[in-house]
A and B are shown apart, each in its own frame.
Chain A
């Protein structure tokens, strides 16, 4: 038995050093925060709005490094389910809250404040090599994406005879996504009405990957993703009856990019705001620096009018 000891001792030494390493890393705390707030802020919801919240969390950390902000992307619908169950502090949403969600929040006793945090032009995108679809009318989009198109509309020349014979490959948001809700409502006339033979994903990044990889591909997501991936995808102009309008900051802010111009929302759980100082800290920072954050994340910022409204909402929360 004695002869076994050196082996055990060496092995214990290895384990001990690993343990020291662990405590060394784990115990390391960064420069303290200014006013000592710490804790967690849980953000969930739209994958369109998530980059904005992530940018806010990023910038926020330079001020309050002891606050842990997590940003998840369960989709606007999925996020609301969690929000109205009291599981999250902030809800990112790419569409306004709906009646059944309002009811759920009321039933659970969750009071919230709605803040428009940025603007977005929901963009229809195609592959950069697509040189025929520069502008699509809303009717053409409905033909392409409506429930009746399932199994039948499979080629670009069915959308417009002047388009080439190119197979149509569709990518887009999944059913938990606010982008999905907004797009189906605006284009197909009814939320949730869509053909089901496309590649759905709650993660808009996967849609970008899909569109960028296929010449005949088409997809839809928020403008910030177009800006972030300008070399992989191309936005088409949308004609709502008054001419082709491309999604840009100007056309979205002045409302000419229709029907796909929309606001992006953040819902704050009032209880979290009043009871958790770190949530108050983060939300205050987010709204105060909304323009900076939007610029950082390549989003369309708020108009001056919208900024004032947001600050008023915040003030009413605090009081």
Chain B
């Protein structure tokens, strides 16, 4: 989880104290302390490297065109993750369409228009924080309930998965959008108002455009989190052998994390290799999305 404030606002941290060569720094205890801190970081880094290395080594031999273009099969040689890749794209795109406008609108309301002393608005703010820490599987239960209420029998449909994931990342998008809006200086708003613009005009034509890079960054990071989620979708019955491309919002689907979970659960080693190879694909997608977010932030972020 990126520090959301770091994603959108320029860094304003105090610089560390200049390293000094006084005697106090060279004592035994300070050195041990520093080594201990280094170890902490080292363990985390070593873990990451081990994880990526084992996944890459296990999966690399199966990272072939077959993986990308073929359908799952009961025989590992023929199996591929094509429905999972397309399913992930479909679900994430649908989630984005639902949740970004909703999240940005909610954040704009909270940040620009809401009367802070109003109890309702305070409730919404507290709510957003709470919702952000609810376990993802509870969102799956919510989607399951809602779809059962609507009488939907086959809940393993693109729009069902998008519903669960949208609600899951909505608080995250609201929080990051608010940070982006806060980073726009008051002077911009005041200048616009002073020139006679209405509050909405100010928001729409001055504040939002300035905040777009921050909003984009936050949204892409939230979507990349949704891309990696499997638990809520399991509750919708997503653990299914799917041998076709998704073809609509009501179509059955599977996603990359679900496919990985599926193949990890099979005891044959070849399927584990496939799961590792699919993990590589997923990680590449995630790294790309994160890099895009960072690129947008660095290239377009206005420094005030």
Direct contact of A and B (CB under 8 A): yes
Digitize B231-272: 1 where CB-to-A-CB distance is under 8 Å, 0 elsewhere.
000000101111111110001100000000000011110000
Query: Which chain A residues (267-319) contact chain B, with CB distance < 8 Å?
Result: 296-297
Given contacts A4-B209, A7-B213, contact A58 B73 (CB under 8 A): yes
Contact A1 B205 (CB under 8 A): yes
Is B55 at the interface (CB under 8 A from chain A)? Answer: no
Contact count band on B: 35 or more
A58 to B72, CA, bound (A): 8
Query: Which chain A residues (57-98) contact chain B, with CB distance < 8 Å?
Result: 57-58, 61, 67-74, 85, 87
Contact A209 B212 (CB under 8 A): no
A297 to B76, CA, bound (A): 11
Is A107 at the interface (CB under 8 A from chain B)? Answer: no
Contact count band on A: 35 or more
Contact A54 B267 (CB under 8 A): no
Contact B90 A69 (CB under 8 A): no
Q: Main SS of chain A's interface residues?
A: helix
Residue numbers in B under 8 Å from A50 (CB-CB): 241
Is B226 at the interface (CB under 8 A from chain A)? Answer: no
Is A151 at the interface (CB under 8 A from chain B)? Answer: no
Contact B243 A57 (CB under 8 A): yes
Contact B243 A68 (CB under 8 A): yes
Is A152 at the interface (CB under 8 A from chain B)? Answer: no
A166 to B299, CA, bound (A): 64
Residue numbers in B under 8 Å from A241 (CB-CB): none
Given contacts A51-B74, A70-B252, A206-B265, contact A11 B296 (CB under 8 A): yes
Is B292 at the interface (CB under 8 A from chain A)? Answer: yes
Is B116 at the interface (CB under 8 A from chain A)? Answer: no
Digitize B125-168: 1 where CB-to-A-CB distance is under 8 Å, 0 elsewhere.
00000000000000000000000000001101000000000000
Residue numbers in A under 8 Å from B221 (CB-CB): none
Instruction: Name the residue of chain B whose CB is nearest to the CB of A53.
Output: B241
Is A205 at the interface (CB under 8 A from chain B)? Answer: yes
A61 to B78, CA, bound (A): 12
Given contacts A50-B241, A70-B241, A296-B74, contact A7 B300 (CB under 8 A): yes
Query: Which chain A residues (12-57) contact chain B, with CB distance < 8 Å?
Result: 14, 18, 21-22, 25-26, 28-29, 40, 42, 50-51, 54-55, 57
Which 3 A-B pairs rank lowest in CB-CB distance, beginning with the nearest?
A68-B244, A71-B241, A208-B267
Of the A-B pairs whose beta carbons lie under 8 Å apart in the complex, a sample of 30, sorted by A's number, is: A4-B209, A7-B209, A8-B212, A10-B300, A11-B212, A21-B89, A25-B86, A25-B89, A26-B246, A28-B245, A50-B241, A54-B241, A55-B73, A55-B74, A55-B75, A58-B71, A58-B73, A58-B74, A58-B75, A58-B78, A58-B243, A70-B242, A70-B243, A72-B237, A72-B241, A87-B154, A203-B265, A205-B265, A206-B265, A228-B268
